[in-house]
């Protein structure tokens, strides 16, 4: 998989590296990149949008919806870059990522709808695990949320639903695409959980490093998974389900 997309993966790693430099040592990043250091974070999703568009030509609803998710990821990244200028940008960023997750959910649902009577064992497990995590983590955050209780509750439900819908693709698409998007969804949950802990519970030094590592990997895996996506024939799904 990485060999097929080696050039892009290398270019994305360069963006990955410089974004981590911005998170760990902003002064050095500004010295090396000058004012271009502001362009590094937007390049995360812009590069993925170009890659997705090039390989899929945005044919089909799945590719279009993943592309929309990346667009709103770009908006969210831009808003969160300027929290120091205006803290209210956090709400705009939250709303942007929320819409992005809804776009991903709608894309993943297309694969589930391809054969809704297929594999359901993993869906049941995902519902329990995601439900327990969503409720438990929200209850943990709730005393620290103040006026953000409702927005964070809605966001928690949506991102948990995104992870569940990623699991629902099991058996309906090729294994490579399923694994990439599944781990992308999990890493998105991890990234947002660290971000929420850092913002609402206990701000810690260099929090941006684990947040951005998991976030960039999540967007990368979801995009590559979209490019590698192949639907299975109904006869194959039924054979696997009945075996």
pLDDT in tens, 150-173: 999 999 999 999 999 999 999 999
pLDDT of residue 37: 67
CA 17 to the chain's CA centroid: 19
pLDDT tens-digit series, residues 77-125: 999 988 878 888 999 999 999 999 999 999 999 999 988 877 778 889 9
Q: Give the residue extent of every domain in the chain.
A: 6-242
The structure tokens listed for 99 are 């819409």
* pLDDT surpasses 80 at 174: yes
CB 40 within 8 A of CB 19: yes
* pLDDT surpasses 60 at 140: yes
pLDDT of residue 159: 97
Complete DSSP assignment for 146-198:
GGGHHHHHHHHHHHHHHHHHHHTTTTTB-HHHHHHHHHHHHHHHHHHHHHHII
pLDDT of residue 18: 87
Task: Please state the rounded mean pLDDT for residues 22-50.
Answer: 83
Q: Is 220 left (phi over 0), alpha (psi -120 to 50) or beta?
A: alpha
Residues facing 231 on adjacent strands: 173
* pLDDT surpasses 80 at 38: no
CA 143 to each of CA 138, 173, 200: distance values in angstroms, whole numbers, following the listed order: 9, 41, 9
Band of pLDDT at residue 234, cut at 50, 70 and 90: low
CA-to-CA distance for 20 and 206, rounded, in angstroms? 10
Instruction: State the chain's mean pLDDT as an integer.
Output: 91
* pLDDT surpasses 60 at 242: no
CA 96 to each of CA 70, 91, 216: distance values in angstroms, whole numbers, following the listed order: 10, 8, 16
CA-to-CA distance for 11 and 5, rounded, in angstroms? 10
């Amino acid at each position: 998989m990485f060999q097929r997309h080696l050039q892009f993966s290398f270019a994305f790693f360069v963006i990955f590296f410089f974004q981590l430099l911005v998170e760990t040592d902003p002064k050095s990043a500004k010295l090396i990149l000058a004012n271009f250091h502001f362009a590094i974070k937007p390049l995360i999703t812009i590069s993925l949008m170009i890659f997705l568009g090039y390989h899929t030509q945005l044919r089909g609803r799945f590719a279009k919806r993943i592309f929309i998710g990346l667009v709103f990821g770009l908006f969210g990244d831009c808003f969160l870059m300027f929290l120091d200028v205006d803290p209210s940008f956090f709400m705009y960023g939250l709303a942007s990522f929320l819409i992005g997750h809804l776009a991903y959910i709608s894309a993943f649902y297309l694969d589930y709808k391809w054969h809704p009577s297929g594999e359901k064992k993993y869906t049941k497990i995902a519902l329990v695990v995601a439900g327990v995590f969503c409720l438990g983590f929200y209850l943990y955050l709730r005393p620290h949320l103040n006026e953000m209780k409702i927005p964070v509750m809605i966001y928690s439900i949506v991102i948990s639903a995104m992870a569940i819908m990623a699991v629902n693709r099991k058996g309906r698409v090729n294994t490579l695409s399923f694994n990439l998007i599944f781990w992308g969804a999990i890493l998105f949950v991890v990234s947002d959980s660290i971000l929420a802990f850092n913002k609402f519970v206990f701000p810690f030094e260099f929090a941006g490093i684990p947040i951005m590592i998991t976030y960039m990997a999540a967007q990368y895996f979801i995009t590559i998974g979209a490019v590698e996506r192949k639907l299975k024939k109904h006869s194959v799904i039924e054979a696997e389900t009945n075996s």
